[in-house]
């Protein structure tokens, strides 16, 4: 599943390709794939940015398309709208014949049209962006205060900070030396500081790796260049102490950690 770094890489690649293009028609594979996108027809694309894992394609008059890539989606530009690959689920043809296409083998990705002003309501529950000035140690400490659920689940729910998925949540907790099962509200202030630094550090390395992986057009795998320490390494030696990496299930997702290094 694309996480924040991969979505950011998609945004940076897409932006110069679509800025200034005018949408002249749109289509979709199934009714559930896209909602309200007819309203985008006739509008010019003014920019592309991101909120959490949502891609926002900015249109004239403050409207925007929101794209969520889900498990296997990718937002690309095809040279000829009529020659789009069979796995394209939603497309927006431009006045120059090219098209922006949601290519998605598993067809779980979604596109929705929104008018100006709907953004605050849409993203009300999303925490700050990890690279923004809003995401501070104090912010993380305040969010964690009194929270009884495990810190891994706390980090995954996007309210404390947006963009941490399963891979990078596990890696940040390893780097900070915190047991993923520990209640978020029972982590000392000093260790919250280490966790904050680990989250930002892991996501920076992941973003660099996603940008490199995305130099070539076509699909890419999340974290493919990211040097994982624990994620997906059940039974293998911990890179720090050599003890076997463990796997448990939290909130229906796998969590990988070292029970010796993470307390």
Contact residues: Zn ion, CB under 5 A: 238, 240-241, 258, 260-261
Annotated catalytic, 93? no
User: Is there a catalytic annotation at residue 53?
Assistant: yes
Q: For residue 159, give the DSSP letter.
A: S
Q: From the candidates 13, 43, 50, 53, which is the catalytic residue?
A: 53
* 101/238 with CB nearer Zn ion: 238
Task: Give the residue among 231, 247, 154 at the shortest CA–CA distance from 195.
Answer: 154
Select 67 or 176, whichever has its Cβ closest to Zn ion: 176
Tell me the residue nearest to Zn ion as measured from the CB.
Answer: 238
Give the orientation angle of helix 189-213 with respect to helix 166-176, to 10 degrees.
Answer: 130
Minimum CB–partner distance for residue 236 and Zn ion (Å): 11
Residue closer to Zn ion by CB (options 23, 229) is: 229
Residue 83: φ, ψ to 5°: -105, 25
Sign of the dihedral defined by the CA atoms of residues 246, 140, 165, 218, in that order = negative
Q: Give the integer Cα–Cα distance in Å for 110 and 70.
A: 8
- Give catalytic status of residue 115 as yes or no: no
**Cβ 263 to Zn ion shortest distance, Å:** 11
Distance of CA 37 to the CA centre of its chain: 22
What is the closest distance, in whole angstroms, from the C-beta atom of residue 174 to Zn ion in the complex?
A: 8
> Is 253 designated active site?
yes
**Positions marked active-site:** 2-3, 53, 253
């Amino acid at each position: 599943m694309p996480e924040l770094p991969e979505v950011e890489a998609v945004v940076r690649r897409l932006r110069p390709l679509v800025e200034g293009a005018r949408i002249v028609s749109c289509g979709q594979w199934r009714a559930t794939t896209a909602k309200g996108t007819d309203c985008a027809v006739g509008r010019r694309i003014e920019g592309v940015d991101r909120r959490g894992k949502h891609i926002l394609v900015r249109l004239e008059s403050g409207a925007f398309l929101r794209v969520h890539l889900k498990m296997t989606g990718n937002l690309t530009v095809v040279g000829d709208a009529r020659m789009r690959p069979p796995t394209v689920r939603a497309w927006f043809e431009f006045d120059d014949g090219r098209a922006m296409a949601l290519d998605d083998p598993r067809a779980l990705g979604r596109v929705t049209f929104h008018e100006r002003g709907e953004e605050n309501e849409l993203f009300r529950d999303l925490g700050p962006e990890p690279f923004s000035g809003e995401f501070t140690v104090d912010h993380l400490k305040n969010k964690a205060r009194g929270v009884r659920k495990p810190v891994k689940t706390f980090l995954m729910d996007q309210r404390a900070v947006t963009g941490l998925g399963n891979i990078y949540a596990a890696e940040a907790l390893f780097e900070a030396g915190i047991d993923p099962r520990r209640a978020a509200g029972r982590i000392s202030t000093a260790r919250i500081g280490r966790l904050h630094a680990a989250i930002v550090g892991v996501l920076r390395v992941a973003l660099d790796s996603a940008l490199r992986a995305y130099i070539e057009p076509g699909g890419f795998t999340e974290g493919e260049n990211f040097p994982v320490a624990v994620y997906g390494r059940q039974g293998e030696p911990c890179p720090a102490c050599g003890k076997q990496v463990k796997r448990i299930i939290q909130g229906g997702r796998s969590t990988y950690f070292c029970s010796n290094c993470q307390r």
